[in-house]
Amino acid sequence: MLTELPPDALRATEGLCRPPGDLQQSWQKTLTKAREVGEPPSVRHTETGLSLVRTDAVAFSGWGGHRINAWLHTPAGATHGDHQTGVPALVVQFPGYGGGRGLAHQVPVWVLAGYASLSIDVRGQGSEWGAGDTADPVGSAPSFPGFLTRGLLDGDGGYYRRVITDAVRAVDAVADLPGLAGARVVVAGASQGGGLALAAAGLCADVA
């Protein structure tokens, strides 16, 4: 990676943008409401024909209690059920702009390295690449971009407030997945997915 400043200087650099004073309170209000209407995630084994990876279809409650779909991929040799999986961590992975969780047999590289992975759908996305299977009840079924300005003037109901809430609730859901209670949780993504990973890490106290 090429940067203009050395790493120590980069870590000490602060941007010019300053958040509004009520930002934390606003997000806490949004997340509290989402958690109040949420239900436990559902988990259903999905046969992919892959002998080294177990895949489960997961649905969890996001913004407004809306169900968000994901794939839970774990190394097939790990214990799965009422016991700890034995994986060193679970990676919650968010897709880039326009993409979704993909198909069940499309396994993230994290699983090949011995980690568990929860590949998340982004509501209303997934028709440009990486198939999606989660509609946005406020907006549309999985569709082609653009999404950036949807609900921009709607305050608490804006599209990306819903999507970021979904990202936080994905991290919340890990504690209720079979064999993953207490697992070390990592967030990852590129492009839009990187932004969602940063947002989730900032809003979730238990992200490693």
Per-residue pLDDT of the chain (208 residues; tens, 9 = 90+): 677 888 899 889 888 888 888 889 999 999 999 999 999 999 999 999 999 999 999 999 999 999 999 999 999 877 554 444 578 899 999 999 999 999 999 999 999 999 999 999 999 998 888 899 999 988 877 777 788 878 777 777 789 999 999 999 999 999 899 888 788 999 999 999 999 999 999 999 889 9
pLDDT score recorded for residue 186 = 96
Q: What's the pLDDT at 86?
A: 72
Ramachandran angles phi, psi of 122, nearest 5°: -105, 125
What is the C-alpha separation between 127 and 112, in angstroms, rounded?
A: 26
3-state SS string for 97-125? CCCCCCCCCCCCHHHHCCCEEEEECCCCC
- Order of strands, sheet of 53-61, starting from the edge strand that comes earlier in the sequence: 42-46, 53-61, 67-75, 116-120, 90-94, 185-189
Of 58, 69, 27, nearest in space to 160 by CA: 27
